[in-house]
Amino acid sequence: MKKLRIGLSLLLATTLLVSSCKENVNTENETTQKTAKVDLELEKAAKLKGMMHANPLPNYMTVILSNIEVLNIDEKQHQQLLTISKEKSPQAVGMATKVGEIERKLYKSSLDNAKKEILAKDFEESLTLRTNLVTMKLDCRDHVVEILSEKQWNDLVALYQEKMPFNNKTEMTILIKHVNPLPNYMQLIRDGVIQLDEGQEDKLSKWSMEHHPRMMELAGAVNTLENDVYNLSINKELKEAILQKVTEIAALKRQIVLTKTDCRDNLINNILSKEQWKALSSK
């Protein structure tokens, strides 16, 4: 009887141990799955953020494929939309990612005192990518319009405007960062990164008075045009009319980047000492 009790105790302990191990494994698997899901969502969010920065057009597929039942998309339509998404989405993400890479390069190149001509050339590459991306997304929109019924399209527009309205950048520092990939040297100086003497302050103030209002005006115009592009796309305006707006946006951004580079060169050549520029450009 004693041996039997010992045997039962060992069996119970073994069963509990195995059960505990299984629970630990299940918990680890659940944790891994949750982590993977969070990582995937973060990756999707990062890609969407990059896409919205690189082009002002609505990203219809993001909302459509997440609301198939809400929009009453049938199986045939679903497959047609998936075909477009599988073909075009990687290309679009690649373009948006490349825009981000070029802009990060521009930021560093400006700090490294790259010549204006080099910065302008690299910036033109980013503008070309943006135009190509807009063209692709407009073609995608037109395919979606063909696939959906009029009611489905109207429901999609209402849903999109609810979930992803145009990001109207009323905060000027956010807007400037959006339209200009170069460092904002004036802001760094205002933040106290370096200290200027009275003569330097006067020179900087004169430059700011001559150019700052125009920069704000240009940035505001970009925001207005991007809002126009967003609404024109939703209203099914012809591709050519939207691309004309995109060309206007590019021209404004070009002016901003070139003027910002002139500002940097003025700081280096006429206002700051070598030590001050080194301190400013290291931030």
Q: Give the span between the Cα atoms of 48 and 135, in whole angstroms.
A: 18
> Residue 92's pLDDT is what?
96
> Residue 36's pLDDT is what?
47
Q: Is the pLDDT of residue 130 over 60?
A: yes
Q: Give the span between the Cα atoms of 216 and 253, in whole angstroms.
A: 12
Residues of 123-145 as b/e, b for ≥16 C-beta within 10 angstroms? beebbebbbebbebbbebbebbe
Give yes or no for a contact between 118 and 109, defined as CB atoms under 8 angstroms apart.
Answer: yes
Share of the chain above pLDDT 70, in %: 85
Question: For residue 120, what are its two tokens?
Answer: 């302008």
Between the CA atoms of 154, 160, 163 and 167, what dihedral angle is there, to the nearest 10 degrees? -130
pLDDT digits (tens, 9 = 90+) for 64-99: 999 999 999 999 999 999 999 999 999 999 999 999
DSSP string, 33-89: HHHHHHHHHHHHHHHHHHHHHH--S--HHHHHTT-TTTTT--HHHHHHHHHHHHHHH
pLDDT digits (tens, 9 = 90+) for 147-205: 999 999 999 999 999 999 999 998 888 999 999 999 999 999 999 999 999 999 999 99
**What region does 113 belong to: left with phi over 0, alpha with psi -120 to 50, or beta?**
left
The whole-angstrom distance between residue 59's C-alpha and the CA centroid of its chain comes to: 12
Residue among 106, 100, 34 at smallest CA distance from 261:
106
Between the CA atoms of 116, 121, 124 and 129, what dihedral angle is there, to the nearest 10 degrees? -140
> With bands split at pLDDT 50, 70 and 90, how would you rate the model's confidence at 4?
very low
Please report, for residues 3, 141, 237, the alpha-carbon distance to residue 227 in angstroms, rounded to integers and kept in the order given. 83, 17, 14
> Residue 19's pLDDT is what?
56
Q: Is the pLDDT of residue 238 over 70?
A: yes
> Residue 43's pLDDT is what?
74
- Apex CA 66: angle with CA 72 and CA 150, to 5°? 40
